[in-house]
Chain A
Amino acid sequence: MKLMKALKRTAMIGMTGALAFSLVACSGKTEEKASDNNAGSKSDSPVSIIVTNGKGEIDAQFKEAAKAFMDANPDIKVEVNSTAVGDTLNVFDKLTASGKVVTLAMFEPYAALNKYKDVGIDLSNEKWVAETTSALTNAEGQVVGFPFAVEGMGLVYNQKVMDKAVGGTFDPFTINTQDELKELLDKVKATEGVKAPVAYQTEAWSVGNHYSSLFLNQVEDPATLVNDLKAGSVDLAGNDIWNGYYNTLELLTSEEYNEFGKRPIGQYYDAAHLAVGKGESAILFNGNWAYDSLKAVAGDTFGFMPVAVDNNPDNPVNNKIAVGPTQVLVVNKKASEAEQAAAKKFLDWIVFDEAGQDFVVNKSQVISAFKNNPNTVTNPLGIAIADAIGKDRTMHFTTNFINAADWPTTVGPEVQKLIAKQSSKEDLAKYMENYFKNQQ
C-alpha cells in the first residue's frame, strides 16, 4: 500500500515536471540561438556552418565534398541539408522557421532576388567573380549569388534516330525555322522503327516554367520585358514571338507528331523519356537533367536543338538554346562574421581547389560556371550545352526571370488547357498578362 502511494506520488511529480518542461522547452529557443552566435565568433573554437543544397539528387556527393573540405580545414564544420527531390517545401524555410541560421543557402536565381532578396551579403569582391560570367547580380549591381550549376534546355533529340532520318550526321543548328522543323518531323516519322517523332511529357512545370518563359528571350535582357509585363504594357496576343512558341508547341503536341497526341496531357514523364531513350521517338522538350531518365535504357547520345518559332532563319531565338545558372549559393547576412568567412572559404574551395572542381563536375555531373575548372561532364546533354556555349549559341535561361515556385500551379495548368484544346491562345495571353500584373 505504501509502495503504491509512493509510486503514485512519483508519477505525479514526474508528470507535472514533464508538463512544466514542455512549456520551458518552447521558450528556450532564443537563448540557444544567441549562444550559437557567440560560439561562432571565437576564433580558436571550430566554426560550424549550415549549408543548404537545393539539388537533392547530388545529396551524397555534396556531403562527401563537405567531408573533404572539413578534412582540409579542421577548424570548420560543415552541415549539409538537402531538399528532397520533388519536395515542395524549401529546406531554408524549414531550418529558419526552427530557429537555425543557415550560413550558405542554395536558391533559384529568381528566389534569391525576390523572396530572399534580404538574405544575401555583397560578394562582389570575391576572387571567384573574375572566373565566371554567370554570377548573380542584384538591381544595384552587386554580386549576391555564387553560380553553382549551369543548366540548359531545348528540344532534346536522340542522335541515332536523327542521323537515320536525315541520312548523315544531324546538325541541330540547321533547324532554325518552323518549316524546317516540320520537315524534320516528317522525315523522322517516316523513319523505320519510329512510332511517333515526338514524345513530350507536357507536365505543368515543363510547359509552364520552362517552355512558356522562353518568349522572354526576344529582348536582350529578359528582366526588362518582365518589368513591362508587370506594368501591364505588353500585349501578348499580339506578340509574334509569343504566338510563335505556342504554334510550335501545338505542332509538338499534335496528334500527327506526338506519341500521346490523342490525349496530350497525362502523367507521361517516364513513358516519354523511355520512348526517346529507346529510339521509338526522337524528340522531347526538357533540360540536361533529362539524361538520367534517358540513359536508363540506352547508351546512345543525345543533344539539344533550338525551338524554332517562325520562318526567319536569322531570328536569334531560332538559333540558340537556353543556358544559365539555375542554382546560386547565397551567404546569409544573419550569420556571424566567422561563419560568413567560413562560407566564403567553402566557395573558394569549390572554385579553386582540385577536389572542389572534381566534386562539381566529375562527381556531381554539374556543368561548372567557372572557366578555370578544367573538367568536363560526361553526360551527352551536358556536352551539348558546353558545345553550344563554345559556339556562342546560348541565350538566357528564362526560368530565372519568373517566379518558378508558383508557375507549376498557376501558369502551367493554363498552358496545359491550351494543349488539351480546353482554351484558346487569347485566353492564355489574358491569363499571363493578368498573372504578371498581379506580381507586386
Chain B
Amino acid sequence: MTHRKKNLANMGNSLLFLGPTTVFFTLTVLIPFIYGLYITFNRMATPVDPMVFAGLENYVNAVKDTKFWESLWLTLRFVVATVFFVNLVGFGLAYLVTSGIRIQNSLRTAYFTPNLIGGLVLGYIWQFIFVQTLPSLGEKLGIEWLELGWLGDPTMAFWSLVIVTIWQTSGYMMIIFIAGLVSIPKDLMEAARIDGAGPFRRLINVTIPLMIPSFVVTIFLSLKNAFMVYDLNFSLTKGGPFGSTEMVSMHVVNKAFVEANYGTGQAEGIILFIIVAIVTGIQVYSSKKMEVEA
C-alpha cells in the first residue's frame, strides 16, 4: 500500500515538473513533426486541396532535385568554415578576456553584443557594409579588390556569410568558453608551472584537454546553427548572386512555400533533419569520449 502511494507521489512529482514541458514540446515539436511526416506521403498543390496519397513520390522528387543537393553541399562547406572559425575565434576571445588584462569585463560585454542583434537586422547592416562601405573605402584607399560590392561575386558572397556568422556567434561561444576556462583548477596549472611547462605547453596539455566539455557544447551549437541558417542568408544575400549562396534551409522554404511544392519541400526537410541528426549525434558521441577527468 505504502509502495503504491509512493509511486503515485512520484508520478505527481514527475507530472508537476515534466508535464508543462511535455505539453508544449508535443504541441510545438512532436505534433508538427508527425504531421510533416504525414504530408511527405501525400500530394497537395495548395493547402486548400485535399491530400492524395502519393507513396514515396515526394522523396523521389527530393532525391532527384539537383539544386537541393547543390545547396546541401554549399551548406556543408559553410558548416566546416563557420564551425572552425567560430570556435577558434570564440576560444581566442575567451582566452584573451580571462588572461587578466585590465579592461576584460568591458571587452566581454563588447564581444557578446553582436549576438544580441537578430540575424535579419544583422544581415541588412552588413549588406550596407559589403555593398557601400567597403567599396567606397577601397576606392578612397585605392585597394582594387575592395572596390566592387562583395555580394555580386559567388565566392565573396559566401565568405561574407561566413564573416557575419563569425562576428555574430563567436561572442556567444566565448561566454561558454569563459565558464570552462575559469573552472579549470588553479592547482593543476600551478603544478604544470612547477613542472616547467611554458604558457603554450600549458594551453595544449592542460587547458585544452580540460576544455573538451565546453567544445562539445560549442561545436554542437555552431554545427546546428550553421546547418539551419536562414535569416542571415535571407537578409544578406537572398541566396544570390544567381542562386549561388542558397543554403539548404532556404532551398527547402523556397521549394515548399515559394514554388508551392509542399510535399517535396517537406520531404527535403525530413532528409535534412536526418542528416543533421546523424552529424550532430556522431559529434556529441565522439567528443564525449575525448573528455578527461581533472
Assembled-state Cα–Cα distance A97/B239 (Å): 28
- A26 contacts B257, CB within 8 Å? no
In this complex, the member of A5, A265, A414, A422 whose beta carbon has the largest number of chain B beta carbons within 10 angstroms is: A265
Assembled-state Cα–Cα distance A119/B153 (Å): 43
- B13-68: which residues lie under 8 A (CB-CB) from chain A? 13, 15-16, 19-20, 22-23, 26-27, 31, 45-48
Assembled-state Cα–Cα distance A96/B237 (Å): 31
- A204 contacts B240, CB within 8 Å? yes
Size of the B side of the interface (Cβ < 8 Å), in residues, is: 43
In this complex, the member of A26, A204, A260, A263 whose beta carbon has the largest number of chain B beta carbons within 10 angstroms is: A263
Q: Which residues of A contact B12 (CB under 8 A)?
A: 8-9, 11-12
Shortest Cβ distance from residue B281 to the other chain A in the assembled complex, whole angstroms: 29
Taking the complex as formed, is B142 at the interface, i.e. its CB lies under 8 A from any CB of chain A? no
Q: Which residues of B contact A116 (CB under 8 A)?
A: 46
Assembled-state Cα–Cα distance A231/B45 (Å): 21
B-contact 0/1 string along A92-128, CB 8 Å cutoff? 0100110000000000000000011011000000000
- Stretch binding the partner chain, chosen from A13-21, A54-62, A219-227, A346-354: A13-21
In this complex, the member of A260, A405, A408, A409 whose beta carbon has the largest number of chain B beta carbons within 10 angstroms is: A409
- B26 contacts A267, CB within 8 Å? no
Assembled-state Cα–Cα distance A16/B257 (Å): 37
- B149 contacts A18, CB within 8 Å? no
A-contact 0/1 string along B122-163, CB 8 Å cutoff? 000001001110000000000000011111110000000000
Assembled-state Cα–Cα distance A262/B16 (Å): 64
- Which residue of the partner chain B has the closest CB to A10? B12
- A260 contacts B15, CB within 8 Å? no
Assembled-state Cα–Cα distance A417/B12 (Å): 63
Taking the complex as formed, is A22 at the interface, i.e. its CB lies under 8 A from any CB of chain B? yes
A-contact 0/1 string along B236-271, CB 8 Å cutoff? 111111110010000001100111100000000000
User: Of the candidates A118, A119, A420, which one forms a contact with B241 in the assembled complex, judged by CB atoms under 8 Å apart?
Assistant: A420
Assembled-state Cα–Cα distance A184/B219 (Å): 58
Taking the complex as formed, is A172 at the interface, i.e. its CB lies under 8 A from any CB of chain B? no
Assembled-state Cα–Cα distance A22/B25 (Å): 12
- B254 contacts A409, CB within 8 Å? yes
With A260-B152, A266-B152, A267-B131 as contacts: A96 and B243 at CB distance below 8 Å: no
Q: Which residues of B contact A413 (CB under 8 A)?
A: 239-240, 242-243
- A16 contacts B15, CB within 8 Å? yes
Q: Which residues of B contact A119 (CB under 8 A)?
A: 48
Assembled-state Cα–Cα distance A405/B258 (Å): 6
With A8-B12, A116-B46 as contacts: A266 and B259 at CB distance below 8 Å: no
- A146-167: which residues lie under 8 A (CB-CB) from chain B? none
With A26-B31, A115-B45 as contacts: A267 and B240 at CB distance below 8 Å: yes
- A260 contacts B31, CB within 8 Å? no
- A22 contacts B26, CB within 8 Å? yes
- B23 contacts A22, CB within 8 Å? yes
- A406 contacts B152, CB within 8 Å? no
Taking the complex as formed, is B282 at the interface, i.e. its CB lies under 8 A from any CB of chain A? no
- B11 contacts A12, CB within 8 Å? yes
- Which residue of the partner chain A has the closest CB to B239? A409
B-contact 0/1 string along A131-159, CB 8 Å cutoff? 00000000000000000000000000000
- B258 contacts A266, CB within 8 Å? no
- Which residue of the partner chain B has the closest CB to A409? B254
Assembled-state Cα–Cα distance A422/B23 (Å): 52
- A409 contacts B243, CB within 8 Å? yes
Does more than half of chain B's interface fall in helix, strand or loop, or is it mixed?
helix
- Which residue of the partner chain B has the closest CB to A332? B48
Taking the complex as formed, is A83 at the interface, i.e. its CB lies under 8 A from any CB of chain B? no
Taking the complex as formed, is A88 at the interface, i.e. its CB lies under 8 A from any CB of chain B? yes
With A96-B48, A409-B259 as contacts: A19 and B238 at CB distance below 8 Å: no
- A408 contacts B258, CB within 8 Å? yes
Taking the complex as formed, is A271 at the interface, i.e. its CB lies under 8 A from any CB of chain B? yes
Taking the complex as formed, is A410 at the interface, i.e. its CB lies under 8 A from any CB of chain B? yes
Assembled-state Cα–Cα distance A97/B51 (Å): 13
Q: Which residues of B contact A416 (CB under 8 A)?
A: 240-242
Q: Which residues of B contact A88 (CB under 8 A)?
A: 253-254, 257-258
With A8-B13, A15-B16, A416-B241 as contacts: A405 and B259 at CB distance below 8 Å: yes
Q: Which residues of B contact A5 (CB under 8 A)?
A: 9
Taking the complex as formed, is A268 at the interface, i.e. its CB lies under 8 A from any CB of chain B? yes
- Which residue of the partner chain A has the closest CB to B243? A413
Assembled-state Cα–Cα distance A8/B6 (Å): 12
Taking the complex as formed, is A197 at the interface, i.e. its CB lies under 8 A from any CB of chain B? no
Taking the complex as formed, is A89 at the interface, i.e. its CB lies under 8 A from any CB of chain B? yes
With A268-B131, A414-B242, A422-B242 as contacts: A263 and B258 at CB distance below 8 Å: no
Q: Which residues of A contact B130 (CB under 8 A)?
A: 267
Assembled-state Cα–Cα distance A136/B147 (Å): 48
Assembled-state Cα–Cα distance A75/B14 (Å): 52
- Which residue of the partner chain B has the closest CB to A119? B48
Taking the complex as formed, is A264 at the interface, i.e. its CB lies under 8 A from any CB of chain B? yes
- Give me the interface of A with B, judged by CB distance under 8 Å: 5, 8-9, 11-12, 15-16, 18-19, 22, 26, 88-90, 93, 96-97, 115-116, 118-119, 203-204, 260, 262-268, 271, 405-406, 408-410, 413-414, 416-417, 420, 422
User: Would you mind naming 16 contact pairs between A and B with Cβ atoms under 8 Å apart?
Assistant: A5-B9, A8-B13, A11-B19, A93-B46, A96-B48, A115-B260, A266-B131, A266-B152, A267-B127, A267-B131, A267-B149, A267-B237, A267-B238, A268-B149, A271-B131, A409-B254
Nearest 8 CB-CB pairings of A with B: A266-B152, A15-B19, A413-B243, A8-B12, A263-B152, A416-B242, A265-B241, A266-B149
Apart from A9-B12, A262-B148, A409-B243, list 12 A-B contacts with CB within 8 A: A5-B9, A8-B13, A11-B12, A18-B23, A19-B19, A90-B257, A119-B48, A265-B240, A267-B130, A271-B132, A410-B259, A413-B239
